[in-house]
Amino acid sequence: MTAANESAYLVYGEGSEKILEEVAGTSYASRLKELPVGEFLELEAVGRLDRVVVCGSAGEIKQVLKKACEEGFGVAFLSGRRQSTLRSTFQIPQGAEESLKIALESEPQPLDLLCADGEIVLWGALVGDAPPLTHSSALYERSSLRERFRMLLDAFRRLGELKQSGIRLTTAKNQEINTAATGIVIIEHDNHTAAASLVRDQLSVSDGKLSAVLLSPSSVVDYLHYLYVSLFGKGKSASLPESVGFIKSESLRIESSPPLPVTIDGESVAHTPVEFEVRSQAVRLIASDAFWAGVKRESSDKETLRLSGLPVTREEVNYVQKSLPLFTHASEERYRELFADLRRQGRSDSTFVTLMFLSTVLATVGLFLDSASVVIGAMLLAPLMQPIVSAAMGLLRSDQTLLAGALRTVFNGVLIALLSAAAIAFLLPLESLTDEISARLSPSLLDLLVALASGVAAAYVHNNQKIAGSLAGVAIAVALVPPLATAGIGIGWMSLNIFYHAFLLFVTNFVGIVFAASLTFLVLGFAPVQRARKGLGYALVTALIVAVPLYLSFTTMAFDSRVISTLEQKRYTVSGKGVQVENVVLKHAGVLVIKCDFVVEEMLSHSELVQLKHTLQSELKVPIALEAVQRIRF
């Protein structure tokens, strides 16, 4: 620590008049020797025991730092009112009195210096473009939630300008990485920017290594996720978005095609190729406790490479350089594996025929027994989901071979189910509707929603073998064979009404699964949007056509629910006699037929029943017919 009468140099650059005026009014002014930057740089007597307080532009500060590296004296910074980035980066107090107290009474500590092609980088460098990682420290660190939303909107507006460029990275240990990125942010220590927030637990002031944050979104969706994490995330490198890579090394050479602009401390200075390196403990910095409190002093010879989410194969690099697609592009290897699996599952072989027949028998018997457990067993055994998902992929990619093979298998499965269930229904002397059969006779928009959700789940499960066991749950949720078995029962009973409603439920499931699975495969990157547009259009139009009768059924369901709620929640009075309506069942047959129980304290006469009917009809505003049982409650 300096003695009370020990002096220091105050080195100032052009435009520092206001700072000098503030310094003159402090209690430390008498201990400072003021010198312009130019004169100071010509001094030869500055030694390790001296300390220098510098104020000026970023370029003038770098000149003093370069001299400090050569001669070893300690350096402290004073910041002007407009130098918010410098002040935030090095945690410099705004007041001259407090800044000088730190500069003259605190001890220098070693600090690494980042250099670009031999020139000092004061707080950070940018190669290409990487919004919002490039926001200045002062703007980012103190920004409110509303301001961060503005940054989000600004970064989103620049989406059309973002383009991936092929880059080659060479680390200090000669590790060569070929990838693609929109931009790379290079920092040495925590400068409180959005980039630093993502890798804060990896930053150190004296480990002799730089940190490079690479932005390489594989799609618009990927970019939006990265924006959210970088602006509103917790900033831990362990949870970096897949579109962000991280390199920690003593040096990093960056080459690109085409050349990318290089920005140092906010000023555009050159284009790639460029080489960054760190000079370990090159300067002795005098800074506040707030600056040193959050830094690490770790040292290791190991390099850190986190590039798992970045394009590495030639196919991936070439694909992302064309334009930023809406969805992520699946790799050729990933697509080849899934495509081969779906092609195999789309075949109608002996195993498929056997399982389809057995599952239909189980489902039909379970429907007659009114046994939910037997019906669920049939759902698990049924192999129909696999060719439907294969058809979804064939439709998405306009692959006629895959689509035709899958549809042929689905058709065979439907034919097996209908004929098997019809034969069983024809041979069994049973013609009563069980609850399990009735449950398949009222398809609505809710069933379409179930099919859509199941289609998304089925496609996602097929893409991820780690959760392949979840396909059983999808099969139970969507229930493909029970509606077919119910339709087959309708054929066996010669009932067109049962066949129509049950088969409509199957068609709803089929269309919903195909559309949702195709859309999910698109999001997962298994087809470009241009190629998928035609197939998705067909699936969407078909889904809309199917939705028409489902909507009508849904409106009827909603109407029935309202009527039942109205009747059962109100107590009626007829000729002074209280009436409670219970166990309401509705039937639509020209007029609304209401089957119910009238719970009364005294039996109603015929005229009173007619009066009650008129009351209910007036309240419901539709013609009704009553089939009621009177129950006396004492």
Q: How many CA atoms lie within 13 A of 35 on its CB side?
A: 18
pLDDT tens across 581-620, in order? 999 999 888 889 999 999 998 999 999 999 999 999 999 9
The 10s digit of each residue's pLDDT in 537-574 is 999 999 999 999 999 889 988 999 999 999 998 899 99
Q: How confident is the model at residue 625 (pLDDT cuts 50, 70, 90)?
A: very high
Query: Which residues have CB under 8 Å from 486's CB, separation 6+?
Result: 367, 421, 437, 440, 441, 498, 502, 505
Domain 8-107 in CATH 3.40.50? The answer is yes
What is the share, in percent, of the chain residues with pLDDT greater than 90? Answer: 47
Q: Round to whole Å and give the CA distance between 562 and 594.
A: 13
380 or 275: which carries more pLDDT confidence?
A: 275
Instruction: Note the pTM of the prediction, 2 decimals.
Output: 0.61
274-285/109-116 β-pairing = antiparallel
Q: Which residues contact 585 (CB under 8 A, 6 or more apart)?
A: 594, 595, 596
Q: Count H helices, E strands: the chain?
A: 23, 21
- Mean pLDDT for 399-421 is 93
For position 468, what pLDDT does the model report?
54
Between 463 and 283, the more confident residue is: 283
Q: What phi and psi, each to the nearest 5 degrees, are found at residue 397?
A: -95, 5
| DSSP character at residue 133 | T
Q: How confident is the model at residue 472 (pLDDT cuts 50, 70, 90)?
A: low
Q: Residue 186: what pLDDT?
A: 93
Query: In CATH, which of 3.20.20.70, 2.60.200.40, 3.30.565.10, 1.10.8.60 is domain 119-284+292-322?
Result: 2.60.200.40
Query: Which stretches of 72-207 are DSSP H helices?
Result: 84-89, 96-105, 137-141, 145-157, 194-198
* pLDDT number for residue 55: 94
Classify 578 as helix, strand or coil: strand
* 244 has pLDDT over 60: yes
Q: Judge contact between 385 and 474, C-beta under 8 A.
A: yes
Alpha-carbon torsion angle 54, 60, 61, 67, nearest 10: -90
> Of the given ranges (101-115, 168-182, 310-324, 493-507), which has the lowest mean pLDDT?
310-324
Return d(Cα 328, Cα 316) in angstroms, integer.
10
Give how far the C-alpha of residue 440 lies from the chain's centroid of Cα atoms, to the nearest Å: 36
Contact 193, 133 (CB under 8 A): yes
Tokens standing for residue 259: 């050349």
Contacts of 427 (CB under 8 A, 6+ apart): none
Instruction: Single out the residue of 91, 100, 77 nearest to residue 11, CA to CA.
Output: 77
Q: DSSP code of 9?
A: E
